[in-house]
Amino acid sequence: MSQHLIDPHGGALVNRFAASARASAIKAQAPKLPRVTLTAKQACDLEMIAIGAFSPLTGFVGQADFVSICKEMRLSSGVNKGLIWPIPITLAVDEATKSTLAVGKQAALYHSDGTLLAVIDVQEIYPHDKKLEIPNVFRTEDPAHPGVAAVQAEGDWLVAGPIEVVTVTPEKEPGEQYTEYRLPPAKTRETFAQKGWSTVAAFQTRNPIHRAHEYLTKCALEMTDGLLIHPLVGETKPGDIPADVRMDCYKVLIDKYYNLKRTMLSVMPAAMRYAGPREAVLHALVRKNYGVSHFIVGRDHAGVGNYYGTYDAQQIFDSFAPGEVGLTILKFENTFYCKKTGGMASDKTTNSPPEDRIFLAGTKVRDLLKAGQRPPAEFSRPEVADILIRWAQSS
């Protein structure tokens, strides 16, 4: 194929999976090594490193990178010095685990179900400076913020070094893997090339897609060769709609309302941090690794509650030099169904009064679903509403 896809962040796609002979050696060696059991978030991060989604990272970050990322949103050393990176990817451990580890040695990394996932070459063990990380990454120290709470609950020591990965698939969770849709960056790039797409727009979501989101994605598709609907299926906070329910919604919506030749569904196994602007940058860089050239950033991207301004996640991209992020950021206004114009609109495209705009708060939607009622057709496609009704009434 002659089409050239966007280069990965840092120029090369990382792959931290051990070849079969090396994997066998790791499995034989692991029982003799200190053991670190990963949290759900850490297991997600390990997978994202392994498959190259977090390129150029080859492991969990060291202290110099940690400080530089928190303060400057940049990597600090080596060939990637100065490269944008907005959130530190760390391996936090408690005092008891730290006491079993040694710099210059290896440790075995396990899933909570006991599956051996990887080994890490321990290059550094350093204090987890939460007072630096939390206010910089989250713009708040409020313990009610789910990202802040998650970091506060982590261990007080950080372990850094490259990883060699045996598997990212827990043995006891086969039903949650979405294998058909769990494509690593190398595979999405291959698929885009096969389809003849050189420009691809991606839509990040942790919710079902309603009519406003459908509108954004189709606007983006008008500008590019293809659309990647790329839901996050890693760890989310309690109360978020489960990934399996969301996947059913995405599939029925795409089958009935999108051009199947121009639309692709794949999942991203990352954990949500709810870090608003900084997480929007991370989501963009990750999608660049997947081969995406255009990334949709809408209202309150990766936000939670009222911690971030409506368009803070768009404005953060203006703080970088032109071309630094490397992909085109599509900044969309808050959209809604406009009764005056008879279609989807935003403040850019209509001057309709508030009473002509159909907005629904999340609590109102949930009340309707629990009562077995579909939200207005201008808000949600009926097929999606029916899936959500079944979930709401059974949960």
Catalytic center residues: 206-207
What is the C-alpha to C-alpha distance for residues 172 and 170, in angstroms, rounded to an integer? 6
* Amino acid of residue 222: E
What is the C-alpha to C-alpha distance for residues 25 and 22, in angstroms, rounded to an integer? 5
- In our burial notation (b when 16+ CB lie closer than 10 A, e otherwise), range 138-173 reads bbbeeeebbbbebbeebbebbbbbbbbbbbbebeee
